[in-house]
Amino acid sequence: MKGANGVEYASNGTRGGLTFSIAAGTEEGDAVTLTAPETMGRGAAGAPLCGKFVKLERDRLGTVMHQDMITVPANPALTTGFKLLVVDGTGAANEGVGGRPGMVILIRDGLAVIDLG
C-alpha cells in the first residue's frame, strides 16, 4: 500500500513465513492468532496478533507471515503508532492489553500496514 508520502509499504518477502494448520472460517488476508497447538485462525477478540494468513493449500495447511510488514484488515478502533496488537475475532487487527508489540504505520480503506519487526 502506498502512503501519502509516496512510499510503498510492503514486505520484502525474505523472512517471516511459517506453515500452520488453518482453523475453519479463516480467510486469506486475515489477521490471525494461535487458536490451538500448531493452528492459526481468527481467534477470540483480544488474543495476541501472530501475523497475516497468506495462502491456504489443499491440505488445510497455510502460510502465516509472522514477521516483517503485513497489511491486514483494521478494526475501526485501531490507530497508528507503536501498539500492543491483538485480533478482534473477525480477521482484523486491533490494539489491546496483552497484545504483541508492533508499529501501525498506515491505516486506509479499512486496511492497516503493520511492522511486526
Whole-structure pTM value: 0.88
Residue 15 pLDDT: 62
Q: Candidates 2.40.300.10, 3.40.50.2300, 3.40.50.300, 3.20.20.150; correct CATH number of 17-115? A: 2.40.300.10
| Alpha-carbon gap, residue 40 to 105, rounded angstroms | 24
Please report, for the chain, the start and end positions of each structural domain, with discontinuous segments joined by +: 17-115
pLDDT confidence bin for 7, thresholds 50/70/90: low
Length of the chain: 117
| pLDDT band per the 50, 70, 90 thresholds, residue 18 | confident
Give residue-wise pLDDT tens across range 54-73.
999 888 888 999 988 999 99
pLDDT tens digits for 71-114? 999 999 999 999 999 999 999 999 999 999 999 999 999 999 99
